[in-house]
Amino acid sequence: MNWNRVLKIIAGLSAMLWAASVPVAAQGVPQPAPSRTARQSSVVDPTVAVRTEAAAWLADLIKINTSNPPGNEQPAATFISRLLQKEGIKAEVVDVAPGRSAVVARLRSSVVPEPSKALLLVAHLDTVPVDKSRWTVDPFGAVIKDGYMYGRGAIDDKGMLAANLAVFINLKRTNAHLNRDVIFLATADEEGSGDASIRTLIAKYWDKFAAGFAINEGGNVFVKKGKVQYIGVQASEKVAANIAVIARGTSGHASQPTKDNAVVHLAAAVAKIGTYTAPVHFTAIVRRYFEGIAPLEDDEISKWIRSMDTTDRGEHAQRVVSDASPLWNSMMRDTVAPTVLSAGVANNVIPAEARGNLNVRLLPGDPIGTVVNDLNKLVNDPAVKLEVQPNAGLAAPPSSLDSDFYNVICRVASREFGGAPALPFQSTWLTDSAQLRLHSVQAYGLVPFPLNDEDLRRMHGDDERIPLVAFDKGVDVLMKIVTEFAVTRY
């Protein structure tokens, strides 16, 4: 690490944090204390110094383009391993596929490892791609503007990656006495869930990072009207699958239209599928989530949330709540979203085949066969076939809501975010945690940065950004969670 450079960045960030106080205050996240200029803090408190350095690491990571496809995570893995080596931590870059690597490093609590007690800090190196033309800044520039750092991965998941690094390095620098091994893991191909993903990593290298507990992305600190409304701690996730819709007809000259045109049959089938609504099914976690969120919403919606399980008004209530939020809708039922259409070879040729893709998100345990049957009945067209695609996800058992680690996460996060409740959360999106849960890891998802809807929407979208004060706060909270769970004393 070039310290002149670090100090320059630190000075820049500090100035920027102060300049940004207005928009950041509007988000309801804490302001830096007046004494916390980085130059002072690096002498006074190593924890504060590492937080400020973490923002510089986040910028460095954003500048390494790991858009997936193709991923190309190796340079980011090398960057992290060098950073850890400089701190005196042995880090291993593990090659998962050509050009695609993960990083593993361990801080030991004892000579003989106890994998069932170990804590894994997980984040992924890859990001989704960008449509550069729709960004107002360079997506790989780590541009700082109005109190935000912009860049692909700023939240998902390089923000968490930098936070994990900060926590891990701080444990080492402060010579913390651990009651369990703490393992740093940076994975590849999370966004693609392909051959270079955690599935392969576990199959090939499980012994290098076997653990009983993990913290990963998956849940969020939700900010509403300038305040943290609740902390969603992910303990389960939905399962993804794809179904191909294939319409077949007779190809021919476009000057003489026919009734069995495959494009027409596909379009009609997709239109019907668009109206599909699967029955509601509350998993234990979703039930607890709605119980927790009902008192936080305004009276009207709160009333409907509480009525969802009643016999007389249940169905109507479920409809109102589903319509109020696509997230809530997807938390309580299987969903189907048409995502890709393809047909035709030329403007004047009727094609023999037209295909679409349906992206299905199942509640854990729900069989895809039920959805296929329902859709077949709905489409009701012998010219159209539905085919479940290979590589569907596997349902994992939920993580326990009674474990010590879950309790620590909820207690610390709630305390640090002004008493906002921590609720169990079932994400509608996928994370690496499902694979960990399938290997008996009690994995929990919490991106520790307080974020409002506007910022959360930009993940996977354009102009992804993280408020720098939220980043700083998140690193601090994650540090406290890990300290309470894994550190006996400094």
- Which residues here bind Zn ion, judged by CB under 5 A? 156-157, 217
Question: How many other C-beta atoms can be found within 10 angstroms of the C-beta atom of residue 327?
Answer: 13
Q: Which is nearer to Zn ion, 217 or 334 (CB)?
A: 217
| CA distances for 261 relative to 245, 253, 264, 375, 395, angstroms | 15, 11, 5, 21, 38
Distance of closest approach, residue 165 Cβ to Zn ion, in angstroms: 16
Q: Which is nearer to Zn ion, 290 or 444 (CB)?
A: 444
Q: Which is nearer to Zn ion, 191 or 366 (CB)?
A: 191
Distance of closest approach, residue 99 Cβ to Zn ion, in angstroms: 20
The C-alpha atoms of residue 104 and residue 44 are separated, in whole angstroms, by 30
Task: Report yes or no: 457 and 149 within 8 Å, Cβ to Cβ.
Answer: no
Distance of closest approach, residue 479 Cβ to Zn ion, in angstroms: 21
Q: Which is nearer to Zn ion, 220 or 483 (CB)?
A: 220
The C-alpha atoms of residue 386 and residue 409 are separated, in whole angstroms, by 43
Task: Report yes or no: 428 and 393 within 8 Å, Cβ to Cβ.
Answer: no
Angle at 15 between CA 10 and CA 20, to 5 degrees: 120
The C-alpha atoms of residue 139 and residue 129 are separated, in whole angstroms, by 10
Distance of closest approach, residue 92 Cβ to Zn ion, in angstroms: 22
Distance of closest approach, residue 116 Cβ to Zn ion, in angstroms: 26
The C-alpha atoms of residue 394 and residue 197 are separated, in whole angstroms, by 14
Q: Which is nearer to Zn ion, 217 or 237 (CB)?
A: 217
Distance of closest approach, residue 109 Cβ to Zn ion, in angstroms: 29
Distance of closest approach, residue 336 Cβ to Zn ion, in angstroms: 23
Q: Which is nearer to Zn ion, 157 or 181 (CB)?
A: 157
Q: Which is nearer to Zn ion, 234 or 283 (CB)?
A: 234
